[in-house]
Structure 1
Amino acid sequence: MIPYLFVGDLHGNMASADLAIAEAAQYGATIIQVGDWGFLWGSSTRTIPDDPDIDPDDFGAQVAHRLASPRLIDQTDNLSALLVAAGVSMRYVDGNHDVHPLLRAYPPGDDNVAPNLTYQPRGSLYVDADGTRFVFLGGAVSIDKAARVPGRSWWPEEAVTAADVRAAERHGAAHVLVTHDAAVLPPGVSDVGVAVGHRLAAADNRAYIAEAIQALRPQVHVHGHWHRAYQTRAGRMTTIGLDRDGHAGLWRLWRRGDD
């Protein structure tokens, strides 16, 4: 079976992407990236190397650092060049911290971003040469909207909609459901202290993911967003959560039949 490397939130971190590409190349694997991709950032968002004086585990400080310069940064050509050189392809979904209007402007189809680099719109389907069916459903809710600017550092299109779920469900079944958000809060994660409105919106988003799972009955559900590496099993489905850039749980190698 064709191998895949599931990769968590990259946040435009080229060094982490380079490591993931090298890992995928060892196994001849295709990368499936689960959102908060970040290699095309707009307006007030700047993707820059991590500041060595900022704690890499302090996500809030890293985000503030990246938002410090109001300009568009497009790293897609650089990322594509790394992928092509390694003989690796990447497919990715949108997270909540991606520039949704720019991603949605890409035409459908393979390599729609650049060579070896494909954005998978919400509700899209990819079937590989082994017949493995991947359904993609990006999107999540930002719980830190109060510190962001609409249209500059967060976008209303970030949340999953009923129409997105219907688009995913029309495929009937999937071996793998690729999402940004989880269907339930991951083990050890709490939303206590989150503003009520944001907490309810985030819960609604997870409910949409759960609805898609119920309809598609995947063998594997893989997601990011929560920066928590874990694996659980319920019934016939394995859920894989991935960590973020710079952390050991950023990726997981998978072949159909492993679950």
Structure 2
Amino acid sequence: MTAIRIIGDVHGKFRDYRDIIRDVPRSIQVGDMGVGFRNRFGEPTANPPYDSMSRGDHKFIRGNHDNPQACERHPYWIPDGSFVPATNGDMQTGIYCLGGAVSIDKAWRTQGLDWWPDEECSYAELERMIDDYAAIKPDVVVTHDCPSSIANEILSAFNMKKIEDGSRTRVALERMLESHQPREWFFGHWHVSLSFVRGQTRFTCLNELEHVDVDI
């Protein structure tokens, strides 16, 4: 087995991100990296540190607070629904990755500057990914959001008010979980730190800049 570092939301704090990846050869960041934001004048803000990421195998999935088009142009972005094999090429011990989520604060954001309408995958894309996931049966999963049932547990654990946001991503992730329970499932988005076991799966919600090392 080889270790890979899983990193929580970065939100544009790239100096801290550099420090986190400095001493490891391989990492995956769970989205909300802070890619493609523009200021109120329409000027691009800072992007992830290409130089540090290129010194190893450091990649990220997209969150709802990442510009999808900018992610597609970034050389270290992991496309939605991708399977990242283990270093030894073992297809059973790799990592399944899926980004995207609903922004509950989109009413206060500006389209094209800090919010994007394609923040979630389409229904058709998610249906295809559900089928792919069931066929792959991955050992480890990294997503930005989490399955619906796990979201409900977080809401209860932290006494959060439930907001009906119509997230098709959570519904799709729940269907994936029903078809196959991986060994580990890592996600961010919720800005809390929590780890617990449900069924055969350990779920780990990473807070901002929190990170853990996992063997694959």
- Normalising by structure 2, report the TM-score: 0.85
- SS of the residue 1:119 aligns to: coil
> Do the aligned partners of 1:222 and 1:239 also contact (CA within 8 Å) in 2?
yes
Residues 57-76 of structure 1: pairs in structure 2 closer than 5 A: 70-76=42-48
Q: Contact conserved, 2:97 with 2:141, CA < 8 A, in 1? A: yes
2:5 matches 1:41: no
Q: How does 1:83-122 map to 2 (within 5 A)?
A: 83-84=53-54, 87-104=55-72, 106=73, 113-114=74-75, 118-122=76-80
Task: Give the AA of the match of 2:84.
Answer: Y
Q: Which residue of 1 aligns with 2:157?
A: 188
Percent identity between matched residues is 24
Contact 2:104 2:165 in 1 (8 A): no
8 Å Cα contact 1:165/1:211 also seen in 2: no
- Root-mean-square deviation (CA, aligned residues, Å) is 2.1
**Contact kept? 1:122, 1:167, Cα under 8 Å:** no
Q: Counterpart of 1:53?
A: none
Match of 2:185 in 1: 221
Q: Would you say the 8 A contact 2:36–2:71 is kept in 1?
A: no
Tell me how far 1:70 sits from its aligned partner.
3.2
Letter of the 1:252 counterpart: V
Answer whether contact 2:63 2:101 (CA < 8 A) is retained: yes
Under a length normalisation based on structure 1, what TM-score does the superposition of the two structures give? 0.72
Q: Which residue of 2 aligns with 1:18?
A: 18
- Consecutive unaligned residues in structure 1, runs of 5 or more: 45-67, 107-112
Aligned length: 205
> How does 1:155-234 map onto structure 2 within 5 Å?
155-168=116-129, 169-171=131-133, 172=135, 173-183=137-147, 184-185=150-151, 186=154, 188-192=157-161, 194=163, 199-202=164-167, 204-234=168-198
Deviation at 1:160, TM superposition (A): 3.8
Deviations 1:143-175 (CA, angstroms, capped at 9, x unpaired): 001101223221111124333333333151111
User: For each residue in 1:69-97, what CA deviation from the matched residue of structure 2 results, as whole angstroms up to 9, or x when unmatched?
Assistant: 53113524xx121234xx43212111000
CA distances 1:124-161 after superposition (whole Å, capped 9, x unpaired)? 11112331221111000000011012232211111243
2:98 corresponds in structure 1 to: 137
Query: 1:189 and 1:151 mapped to 2: Cα distance?
Result: 32
